[in-house]
């Protein structure tokens, strides 16, 4: 995640989207790591979309809306994801 104030402001300025990023991960091996990333971004004032932080049930529709409301996708590849 961006650390200096100028980078954070630049990331905010680029966004018409609600979230800077959509965190995509393999639940079995990447969920905990993405939760840490979520909190690191949040500490810097940046919003990212993560399934386990959604109040409603995760469905294909809620994930689609999360993707559409994000500037980019961060694909977190962890053990087992390509097997």
pLDDT range class, residue 12, cuts 50, 70, 90: low
pLDDT range class, residue 23, cuts 50, 70, 90: very high
Identify which has the larger pLDDT, 15 or 81.
81
Mean pLDDT in residue range 38-62: 86
Residues 38 and 53: their CA atoms lie apart, in Å, by: 9
Q: What is the DSSP letter of 17?
A: S
pLDDT range class, residue 82, cuts 50, 70, 90: confident
Exposure on the CB side of residue 66, measured as CA atoms within 13 A: 23
What pTM, to 2 d.p., does this model score?
Answer: 0.71
Task: Report the C-alpha dihedral over residues 57, 1, 11, 72, rounded to 10 degrees.
Answer: -50
pLDDT, position 5:
79
pLDDT, position 10:
63
């Amino acid at each position: 995640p961006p650390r200096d104030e100028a980078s954070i402001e630049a990331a905010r300025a680029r966004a018409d989207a609600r979230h800077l990023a959509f965190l995509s991960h393999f639940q079995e091996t990447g969920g905990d790591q993405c939760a840490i990333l979520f909190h690191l971004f949040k500490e810097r004032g940046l919003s990212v979309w993560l399934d386990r932080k959604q109040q409603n049930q995760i469905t294909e529709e809620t994930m689609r809306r999360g993707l559409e409301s994000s500037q980019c996708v961060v694909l977190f590849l962890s053990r087992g994801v390509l097997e």
